[in-house]
Amino acid sequence: MIWVTKQAIERYSRRDMVQAAMNAMIESAETRSTCHAWLANSLPKRFIFNKFYGDLLADGKRRSVLDIGGGLTGFTEQLALQHDYNLVDLMAHDIESSARSIENRIGRKFLYVEDWWAYLKRDQDTHWDIVIANDLLPNVDQRLVPFLDSLLPRAKKILISLTYYNDWRWYTTRRIDADEVLTQMSWDSQILSSVIERFRGQIIEPDFSGFHQELPSVYSNGRQVCLVTFAGAG
């Protein structure tokens, strides 16, 4: 378990490999995407991206990868070429046609524009070497337990960034399938640690101490982020 702290970010900034790779990219529809811009403008995001995708981009070993909510960046085509890579994303921020253009270039489909739960229910047989969920749980999607229960039996390794707040924070939202307004409250460290405690035996190098510390946030909105690797049975 790794917390995204000022010290960790400062150490990474001395050799920002993701930024160097982005600087060398030729401009394309993917480098003009929203997710790519977020990556370009945020050192913490590049730190996390390097932790999750760095080895996949660097070494030559081909793996089966399921990326849930990973978005479209200038690295997407390389991931889809080097690996048996599938991206499940609602494309809330990026343009689907850009990903379809990559599919045409590499000669295979990899993007599935649907909810990850529907995707897993439709395909109940596939197993993966690596599953990634970056900047999704439980800040955007609170189905952390169904996510782990569904994927731990089907993946060798799961990489998740978990976001929480240590102050009260909530959002007023509107359901898209009904005429109803909901208030969604973000998880704090106590809620998050109690939920993943039941999966402690499958966490690689578990260390819950960060949940009990007041760590200065590296984000303007005060959120805390913990990177967790789970060993699955897949």
Q: What is the pLDDT of residues 34-58, one digit of tens each?
A: 999 999 999 999 999 999 999 999 9
The string of pLDDT tens digits covering residues 137-179 is: 999 999 999 999 999 999 999 999 999 999 999 999 999 899 9
Count of domains for the chain: 1
Per the CB < 8 A criterion, the answer to whether 48 and 16 are in contact is no
Q: How many helices (H) and strands (E) does the chain have?
A: 9, 9
User: Helices 189-197 and 144-151, interaxial angle, to 10°?
Assistant: 20
Q: What is the mean pLDDT of residues 186-215?
A: 96
Within 8 A by CB and 6+ apart from 116, the residues are 68, 69, 88, 147
Within 8 A by CB and 6+ apart from 41, the residues are none
pLDDT at residue 60 in the model: 77
**Which range marks the domain in which residue 10 is found?**
2-231
pLDDT at residue 234 in the model: 83
Would you call 110 helix, strand, or coil by DSSP? coil
Instruction: Judge whether residue 132 has pLDDT over 80.
Output: yes
User: Helices 43-58 and 34-41, interaxial angle, to 10°?
Assistant: 110
The C-alpha atoms of residue 176 and residue 120 are separated, in whole angstroms, by 22
The C-alpha atoms of residue 89 and residue 180 are separated, in whole angstroms, by 25
Q: What is the mean pLDDT of residues 92-100?
A: 91
Percentage of residues of the chain with pLDDT beyond 70: 100
Percentage of residues of the chain with pLDDT beyond 90: 96
To the nearest whole number, what is the mean pLDDT of the chain?
Answer: 96
What is the model's pTM? 0.96
Which CATH number fits the domain that encloses residue 56? Answer: 3.40.50
Residue whose C-alpha is closest to residue 161's, from 182, 140, 146, 177: 140
